[in-house]
Copies of this chain bind each other. A is one copy, B any other.
């Protein structure tokens, strides 16, 4: 690929252009907002001008609802030999292209799975796509040449191409991107009218849950409405789960009658005896006791069930940078019951390159704690010998079964 046009020099378009320009491609930039195209050019992403002739590939970096119209206009003036886009919704634009574009065979849908909360060309980074998936969704008329250009673009940007059907893509991103964005927004919206203490006690958890809600509302509204059909089913399932949880919370809150009249906070001179009498009456009613009847138990089960399903669902998310699984043996070390001995072992295994997070106490025995240290099978002998030389009481690696 020697020449490329990028239409739309926002975050993604400019990042694609920077990556391509950095690999020697001649890039021609345009944007409805002329200042944005000039900004991208001044960053080194290419030239803010029309190409002298048809380019090898045109990248349409516009919102999903605009892809077909922009493609039609570009093909009408013979801008490129192949076309792709970078929108996070694929089926709707594909249908519109098939229905209306002069040369649908020259178009392959694309979607690099990368982004930032900031938008606009100044937020662009040539390395934005490094190591990220880049979905390509050829339709039934896409030519081999167009698909190849899409693959070449993904590789040029350092991304890992994933070829899939547009429908499948949209169902996946509804679950992995669009509905999560919606939930982040719904949660963040509630913070606006929260009590005064919110900024004091807000921590990393709520920041993580709501982080992606910072995205540009106009762009995201376009994305969400373009994938409304795939999202609707997921949202229905979420609402069913939340309805069950809401019912459980109502039952569980019922015993909490004092919550409403706030007897302890109301009046600091209220005699404690009076309060005690009220509380004891409540205690007799088993408000504070463990067993509060079938509704309460059912409510607790509903919560535990949802929380457990959540933990199970996380297993399907790949951990970024996670090491590929290797055959693993477990060294067993007996740690004497002296203060700091276990900390000393953790320090020793860290030095050997083993994650402390994988170490486990298996049992507390008479003579000390039996600790399991997972090590790659290939390294078990060497690491065992090293720990033994440091004075740790260990079982020989060969005798320990793999986990």
Extra contacts besides A42-B338, A99-B288, A208-B209 (11): CB < 8 Å? A35-B363, A42-B339, A99-B276, A164-B197, A172-B200, A185-B311, A186-B241, A186-B245, A188-B309, A199-B316, A224-B249
A304 contact set on B, CB distance < 8 A: 217-218, 221
Stretch from A143-151, A229-237, A374-382, A394-402 forming part of the interface with B: A229-237
Q: Does A246 contact B (CB under 8 A)?
A: yes
Q: Does A173 contact B (CB under 8 A)?
A: yes
Q: Does A76 contact B (CB under 8 A)?
A: no
Q: Given that A253-B229, A337-B38 are known contacts, is A307 also in contact with B363, CB under 8 Å in the complex?
A: no
A106 contact set on B, CB distance < 8 A: none
> Is there an interface contact between B228 and A252, defined as CB atoms closer than 8 Å?
yes
Q: How far is the CA of A292 from the CA of B286 in the complex (A)?
A: 58
Q: Given that A43-B343, A288-B99, A359-B122 are known contacts, is A183 also in contact with B209, CB under 8 Å in the complex?
A: yes
> Is there an interface contact between B167 and A262, defined as CB atoms closer than 8 Å?
yes
> Is there an interface contact between A177 and B206, defined as CB atoms closer than 8 Å?
yes
A220 contact set on B, CB distance < 8 A: 303, 307
A336 contact set on B, CB distance < 8 A: 42
Contact bitstring A240-253, B, C-beta under 8 A = 1, else 0? 01110110111011
A43 contact set on B, CB distance < 8 A: 340, 342-343, 346
Q: From residue A273, how far is it (CB to closest CB) to chain B in Å?
A: 12
Q: Does A96 contact B (CB under 8 A)?
A: yes
Contact bitstring A245-279, B, C-beta under 8 A = 1, else 0? 11011101100101100101100101010011001
A387 contact set on B, CB distance < 8 A: none
Secondary structure call for the A interface: helix
CB-based nearest B residue for A301: B221
> Is there an interface contact between B236 and A246, defined as CB atoms closer than 8 Å?
yes
Q: Given that A168-B197, A239-B243 are known contacts, is A42 also in contact with B183, CB under 8 Å in the complex?
A: no
CB-based nearest B residue for A310: B185
> Is there an interface contact between A194 and B316, defined as CB atoms closer than 8 Å?
yes
Q: Given that A217-B304, A250-B232 are known contacts, is A238 also in contact with B186, CB under 8 Å in the complex?
A: yes
A313 contact set on B, CB distance < 8 A: 187-192, 210, 213
Stretch from A51-59, A78-86, A132-140 forming part of the interface with B: A132-140
> Is there an interface contact between B264 and A98, defined as CB atoms closer than 8 Å?
yes
> Is there an interface contact between B94 and A264, defined as CB atoms closer than 8 Å?
yes
